[in-house]
Amino acid sequence: MNKQLTLKELLDIIKEGKDTLILCHKNPDPDTLGSAFSLKHILEYYGSSVHIACCDKPSQKFSFITEGSSLEFIEKAYERIIAVDVASPIQLGDLSRLADKVDLIIDHHTMNTRFAPYYEDFGASCAEIIFSIYKELNIDLPKHFFECVYAGMSGDTGGFRYSNVTTRSMEYGAQVIAFGIDHAEINRIIFESKTMGEIKAQKLTFEKMELLCGGALAVVMLTNEIKEQNGICDEDISDIVNSIRSIEGVLVAVSIKQGTKDSQKYSISSRANCDIDVSKVCAMLGGGGHARASGAMVVAESPKIAYEKCVPLFEKAVNEFKVR
Ligand SMILES: [Mn+2]
């Protein structure tokens, strides 16, 4: 059983100047990136040197957070490793081999597996935790810190619109904006800007998707064959589940993506538009996340087998909700 840190213990750790590696979750989104890069500012303030790594390359769009870093892992002996917004070792993807070396997890997922000593707070985003830390420390940090925190907060709440938004989310959002960041531009980049590859992937997603449970369940599977034939890469399809989620009448959206490096691994992403807890379905597949946004990794010999492993579970959840 790993230790749960109090805020005081967390602050003491943060103030220790150390050679630090920060790990982001796979398929990096604005919250894991924003949390990592804002935490970097805090750690550097206290004399730490910081490198940030992720198993996947971040989208070019998020270079306002990453400042162009490719987040490649550099093999060396770090004095400490901190994981941000990472609920389980699986979420570290190819870097999951580092999971048992992690010294500290800072996270907001209710289903966190607590694979290392952890500090948790079930707010809307991990960035809210980083901002809480900043508020305790009250130190001078550059504007980039606030841009990163805002990106994380806004990213995980869909621009402060999702059911996970609390009064604290709005208060923190307001307090961050007060530092003079261009919040409208950050939101435009996160929500209203797509690369041509993403647009192509979106078109393909609508062509390939199917509607089950009388239109309440939208499922799309993208295999390596489909990706190759259409010249799209993993970065382009990172957000496809949200495209099919927007269809009127859809209660749950699921995307199944075959692994590029390991074709027997299928990454499942699910989103709920209602009170169906998709994290419970993903838990049956060995994954987890939030009630309305969860994922899992399924190992299967063929796309058909991967599909059969997961889709019936989502169908069952949707059908049970509908008769409720
Ligand atoms: Mn998050």
Domain ranges of the chain: 7-192, 196-322
Closest CA to 218 of 232, 229, 205, 202: 205
Rounded CA-CA distance 13/25 in Å is 22
For residue 132, the CA-to-ligand 1 centroid distance in Å is 15
For residue 31, the CA-to-ligand 1 centroid distance in Å is 5
For residue 33, the CA-to-ligand 1 centroid distance in Å is 9
- pLDDT for res 195: 87
Number of H helices and number of E strands within the chain?
12, 11
Greatest alpha-carbon span in the chain: 58
- pLDDT for res 138: 87
**What separation, in Å, do the N-terminal and C-terminal C-alpha atoms of the chain show?**
38
For residue 191, the CA-to-ligand 1 centroid distance in Å is 16
Closest CA to 153 of 183, 193, 112, 113: 183
Closest CA to 83 of 107, 49, 62: 107
For residue 246, the CA-to-ligand 1 centroid distance in Å is 20
Q: Does 3.10.310.30 match the CATH number of domain 196-322? A: yes
For residue 23, the CA-to-ligand 1 centroid distance in Å is 13
Residues of the chain with pLDDT under 70: none
- pLDDT for res 308: 98
- pLDDT for res 290: 87
Distance (Å) of CA 270 to CA 26, 37, 172, 256? 15, 27, 28, 9
pTM of the model: 0.87
Dihedral in degrees, nearest 10, Cα atoms 97, 38, 108, 269: -60
Enumerate residues with CB within 5 Å of ligand 1 (an ion).
31, 85, 126, 156
For residue 85, the CA-to-ligand 1 centroid distance in Å is 5
7-192: CATH topology: inorganic pyrophosphatase (n-terminal core) (3.90.1640)
- pLDDT for res 205: 97
Dihedral in degrees, nearest 10, Cα atoms 84, 87, 88, 89: -20
- pLDDT for res 60: 87
- pLDDT for res 1: 86
